[in-house]
Amino acid sequence: MDINIARHSLAHVLAQAVMEMFPGTKLGIGPCIDDGFYYDFDLPEPLTQEHFPEIEKRMGQILKSMSPLTREEYPSKEAALAAFAGQGYKEELIRDLPENEKCTAYHTGEGFTDLCRGPHVENTRELLSWAYQIHSVAGAYWRGSEKNPMLTRLYVYAFPKRDELKAHIAKIEEAKKRDHRKLGPQLDLFFLHETAPGMPYWLPKGLKLFNTLLDFWRKEHEERGYQEISAPLINNHSLWVTSGHWNHYRDIMFSIPPQEEGETTQAIKPMNCPNAMNVYNRTVRSYRELPLRYSDCDVLHRNELSGTLHGLFRVRMFRQDDSHNFITREQIPSEINAILDIADRFYDIFKLSYKPVLSTRPEDFMGDPELWEEAERELRGILGKRFGEDGYTVNEGDGAFYGPKIDLIMTDALGRPWQTGTIQLDFQLPHKFGLTYADRDGTLKEPVVIHRVIYGSLERFIGILIEHFAGAFPFWLAPVQIGVVPVRETHNDYACDVMSVLRKAGLRCEGLMEDEGMGGKVNKFRQAKVPYTLVLGDRETEAGTVSVKIRGGKQAQDVPLEAFVKACAGLNEGQSLELAEDF
């Protein structure tokens, strides 16, 4: 049985149960999602978690009725509207159907009918062995627009077997413990405030983490011939008209209307592409300069709907580890492979695996279809040669409006997929901006542009890392790498000397000098998930050594300070995921 057919059939069963329990309910939609389905309702009274067991019980009774699910095709929209009279949301969906599309519904026995394309199982008996659980209730705007009414959305897990449901719930519980929205503030990394929705405040420790990732990114890219640039945050809207972004992104751009007569609309940039085109176009270019790789990490803003904002995963202010690589057509395979080499390097450091997905021409594409086909052929050939024909998947119609792309789908410690990096092959923007280079024979040709990110949004990537490591970062990435705990106040001077040595070696440390119990100070660093905590008492002060509490529970006594520093420097240099235990 197809898992989505079963889940969507269960969504109808949920809708029937809610309709029977709450007379007067108006139905929205009930699509499948990765771990089950949801259904939106306009209810005559509030629904809470206390109702979940009763709804699930009623669903079980409907399944046991062994009712057939039968399809009905209406001869006209008018007939369908008559059948769903009083169900305003269904009426709206019916009116919005294309004229050539058939209007269909499914009946569950004789007691329930729902507007639906289908398909569904033939009988509810086929779902008796399925395991499901209503797990949350939330508000959701009808059709995702804040201009529409707020509906009640019920989320349901649904799996073919009870063991699969239990395993999924266990993974969800573990994910809750790792939730970056809780761990981030607890670890003093960042916080969000109601006065700036979707725009994180980075605290000192969080900014150290952010800058460590960025420093590593800069070093690795400079070694590969990338040149970092920065461009204006606010641009005249004509820039976005030229690039084509104004038609595609205007609704999520923060715009500044004209302040005086003769001025035109300005906009805060939501992406870096058009600015990179201007940087390239400032002078005459030669084939000898290509590949020309302009990287930048400017702040970007997108006015995402408030209902879609989610911690660091979906924000309105963010930075990308962006680059626009200007190349000749002959350089496409080598350049994309070089970018994939960077992705291998970056993800392997965190033990994150990825799979490539090729996204092809969307309906609202820009430019010549033949160039699109050429670009897609290039990418298919590169992916097939590097990963094998079964080593990548294709997402038809999901490319950027200016070119096809390779999305890198990363898998974290809990097996959850995340779209992070992307590599976009673009023949269109160079043409729109009139970019050229002088070839060997002196003729002017258009370059090809590769838009690419590896981390993606740094905010999002950090959110992923917080959850991937459950806040226990590798030593090289940890905001505070070493905690220093003098046993008594008399040991504070030695503690200061130790911290001075650590800082001169480029190590990030923090000391707790206040006169309180040693156990309490050690516990503070443990709760902060600091990799190493140094305990300094009489013996250590006299011998010039340190006693080391290693995150996870192990300890090392009387370690020479020089040996400890050398081990830590090695962890930084090698970006190791494991902590040294022998000094």
Q: Which of 205, 405, 452, 468 is an active site residue?
A: 405
pLDDT tens digit string along 351-379?
888 999 999 998 888 888 888 888 899 89
Q: What pTM value is reported for the model? A: 0.83
Out of 8-12, 306-310, 338-342, 551-555, which region has the weakest mean confidence (pLDDT)? Answer: 306-310
Mean pLDDT of 448-468: 95
Phi and psi torsions of 77, nearest 5°: -65, -35
The rounded distance, in Å, linking the Cα atoms of 504 and 129 is 64
- Residue 324 annotated in active site: yes
Residue 335 contacts residue 327 (beta carbons within 8 Å):
yes
Q: What is the pLDDT of residue 370?
A: 86
- Residue 575 annotated in active site: no
Q: Is 301 exposed, middle or buried (0-12, 13-18, 19+ CB in 10 A)?
A: buried
Q: Which two tokens stand for residue 302?
A: 């997108």
Q: What is the pLDDT of residue 517?
A: 86
Q: Which of 32, 273, 297, 509 is an active site residue?
A: 273
- Residue 273 annotated in active site: yes
Q: Which of 26, 120, 302, 529 is an active site residue?
A: 302
Mean pLDDT of 563-578: 95
Beta-sheet pairing, 150-159 with 36-42: antiparallel
Mean pLDDT for all residues in the chain: 94
Helix (H) / strand (E) element for 445: namely strand 444-445
Mean pLDDT of 100-118: 93
Q: Which of 35, 114, 321, 322 is an active site residue?
A: 322
Q: Which of 16, 87, 266, 320 is an active site residue?
A: 320
Q: What is the pLDDT of residue 402?
A: 83
- Greater confidence, 317 or 397? 317
pLDDT of residue 510 exceeding 90: yes
Mean pLDDT of 145-160: 94
- Residue 322 annotated in active site: yes
Q: What is the pLDDT of residue 70?
A: 96
Residue 243 contacts residue 273 (beta carbons within 8 Å):
yes
Q: Which of 205, 451, 521, 549 is an active site residue?
A: 451
Band of the pLDDT at 464, cuts 50, 70, 90? very high
- Residue 440 annotated in active site: no
Q: What is the pLDDT of residue 577?
A: 92
Q: Return the closest-CA partner of residue 331 out of 368, 364, 292.
A: 292
Residue 209 contacts residue 471 (beta carbons within 8 Å):
no
Q: Return the closest-CA partner of residue 318 out of 310, 326, 307.
A: 310
The rounded distance, in Å, linking the Cα atoms of 400 and 403 is 5
- Greater confidence, 366 or 552? 552
Band of the pLDDT at 403, cuts 50, 70, 90? confident
Q: What is the pLDDT of residue 241?
A: 92
Mean pLDDT of 272-287: 96
The rounded distance, in Å, linking the Cα atoms of 118 and 107 is 11
Is the omega angle on the peptide bond into residue 274 within 30 degrees of 0, that is, cis? no
Mean pLDDT of 27-32: 96
Q: What is the pLDDT of residue 371?
A: 84
pLDDT of residue 516 exceeding 90: no
Q: Which of 8, 324, 468, 551 is an active site residue?
A: 324
- Residue 162 annotated in active site: no
Mean pLDDT of 492-509: 97
pLDDT tens digit string along 202-228?
999 999 999 999 999 999 999 999 999
pLDDT tens digit string along 40-93?
999 999 999 999 999 999 999 999 999 999 999 999 999 999 999 999 999 999
pLDDT of residue 438 exceeding 90: yes
Q: What is the pLDDT of residue 58?
A: 97
Residue 475 contacts residue 571 (beta carbons within 8 Å):
yes
Half-sphere exposure of 427 (CA within 13 A, CB side): 18
Mean pLDDT of 316-320: 97
Q: What is the pLDDT of residue 196?
A: 96
Q: What is the pLDDT of residue 515?
A: 76
